[in-house]
Amino acid sequence: YIIAGTRGWNLIAEGEEDKKIKERELLRLENSIKNGIEKYGKDKEMIAFFHYPPITSNSVYKKEKNDFIETLERYNIKKCYYGHLHGKSHKDAVEGEIDGIKYKLISADYLNFDLVEI
């Protein structure tokens, strides 16, 4: 496996500073993916990790894709793990396969501090 990832950012934040952060994190994701391919080739499965969720229930409902998801699709990444959602925000998690990518929330409290097999 090849592990790629980025911190990501709050997808619903819309200020100028938020836009800059999203663009920077998108660049970090792409650089991470390209670096993994350069070092280990295209034959290994790549898994993406984010701190912030790269997908929201609202975007699933509206069938919208953001730049993070489009990047995962462009590089044929099939598994994506993310955190950031804690406590009551667990209800906002998007899990399961959507458009060929399997998403999984892995915040420690969501998992009751148990390990999850990747």
Cβ burial 47-81 (10 Å sphere, 16+ → b, else e):
bbbbebbbbbeebeeeeeeeebbebbeebebebbb
Q: How far apart are CA 37 and CA 53, in angstroms?
A: 23
pLDDT at 57 over 90: no
Q: How far apart are CA 39 and CA 60, in angstroms?
A: 33
Averaged confidence pLDDT in the chain: 93
Q: How confident is the model at residue 61 (pLDDT cuts 50, 70, 90)?
A: low
pTM, to two decimals: 0.92
Q: How confident is the model at residue 16 (pLDDT cuts 50, 70, 90)?
A: very high
pLDDT at 62 over 70: no
pLDDT at 1 over 90: yes
Give pLDDT tens digits for 70-118.
999 999 999 999 999 899 988 889 999 999 999 999 999 999 999 999 8
CB atoms within 10 A of CB 21: 17
